[in-house]
Amino acid sequence: MNRIIMHIDMDAFFASIEQAQKQWLRGKPIAISGNPNGRSVIATASYEARVYGIKSGMPLREAKLLYPKLIILKGEMAEYERISKELYELFYQFAPAVERFSIDEVFMDLTYSAKDSDEAHEIGRRIKNDVKNKFGITCTVGISVNKLLSKIAAKLAKPDGLIVLKENDIDNVLKKLPIGKITGIGKKTNLTLKEKFGVEKIEDLQKISLTDLVAVFHSYGNFLYDACRGIDDSPLITIIDKEETKSIGNSITFDVDTDNIIYVKAILRMLSSRVTFRLRKDNFSCRVVTIMIRYDDFNTLTHRMTIPSTNLDKEIYEASIKLFQDVYNGSKVRLLGITASQLSYSEEANNLFSNECETKEKGLLYAMDSARERFGFKITEYGNENFLDSKFVLTDKKLSAKSAIKNE
């Protein structure tokens, strides 16, 4: 039985809310930023502003050069989050399985709520009407047999549209699309595909063998091979799943977007050690590691894997590197996050070090944890590139990232 998956994407969400609530902004080119007076970027631009080439992720200075009369507003995240939650409650009335993918996007599983794609189309139409009548804003709906294809359908329907991509039409529709329509393919991957294989459209990518893609892109080549054929078996992660899976995570937003892989690995190492410190402190081990990557264009991806139950730095770091390599598309990175989930507590976790302190690695971790408990996390960080060989160094130097670290 084919799934029926709906993707709902709010249109210029932050800007639309401001225009709906402030009549004087309607019809005007506006942009939302976290800090209109400092080093910042455009979070969302209204469609009136996009006419001038202004888009999400663009530095404010560049946006002002494109259109000096652009109205720039400081984002009211508390208000946007409130409306996002109300939207989620509305969507939940139409289907029992809803994944809140981001503040302005959801996936809905209509497999058991609609008998066919025509009925799913009708549900999408009703949702669009309810959103507009209740909130005064618009959304775009894409419907297909999986998450990847429903998101592509929504991209094709932007803005304020509704498209059903039926199974019989998938191949014909995909072939003619530029490869950038596939979520997860960034500018650098796009350029590499063009230079190495002459790829322009998805049909060109379909002609490249899995062997050749893996040779150039390593494990990320597997994603490219499946995605260009519309293959995606990823499940929806509902609120029930999230409530049942307690997690511990940390993320960091960079001051300057980067594609320096050495720097990225250093950040992943730091995040891994902070996550495992909290795991050990609460006597937990984890079985699932999730990485989150936000690129400079604000495209955000998550990827996870199951590992043997652990709370050790090395295992979490190795998993995070593997996950990063699986999905990294070569673009500059704005944010990185690591989350440990499927946590378990046991007496063994409590006695992890007391029983095995003869190993240098675990003995040192115990000493590091004790120092961090007394003096704070800044007192110890890994200081060399031999981490995977279990050669640890204590240092009082912080990594060069100045950005604040926050708990997810």
Instruction: Answer whether 360's CB lies under 8 Å from 290's CB.
Output: no
Please identify every stretch of the chain with a pLDDT value under 70, giving residue numbers as ranges. Answer: 1, 38-39, 239-245, 345-408
Buried b / exposed e along 305-332 (16+ C-beta atoms within 10 A): eebebbbbbbbbbbbbbebbebebbbbb
What is the domain partition of the chain in residue ranges?
Answer: 5-10+78-172, 13-77, 245-407
Q: How far apart are CA 362 and CA 380, in angstroms?
A: 15
> What's the one-letter identity of residue 321?
I
| Residue 407 pLDDT | 31
Over its C-alpha atoms, the chain yields an Rg (Å, rounded) of: 23
Domain 5-10+78-172 CATH assignment equals 3.30.70.270: yes
- Supply the residues annotated as catalytic: 105
Fold classified for 13-77: MutS, DNA mismatch repair protein, domain I (3.40.1170)
| Residue 271 pLDDT | 94
Of the options 1.20.1530.20, 3.40.50.170, 3.30.1490.100, 3.30.460.10, the CATH number for the domain spanning 245-407: 3.30.1490.100
Neighbours of 361 (CB within 10 A): 14
| Residue 353 pLDDT | 39
Nearest to residue 287, comparing CAs of 363, 356, 346, 373?
Answer: 346
Which residue has 């063998």 as its token pair? Answer: 209
How many Cα atoms are found within 13 Å in the side-chain-facing hemisphere of 148? 19
| Residue 41 pLDDT | 86
| Residue 39 pLDDT | 67
Instruction: Answer whether 324's CB lies under 8 Å from 283's CB.
Output: no
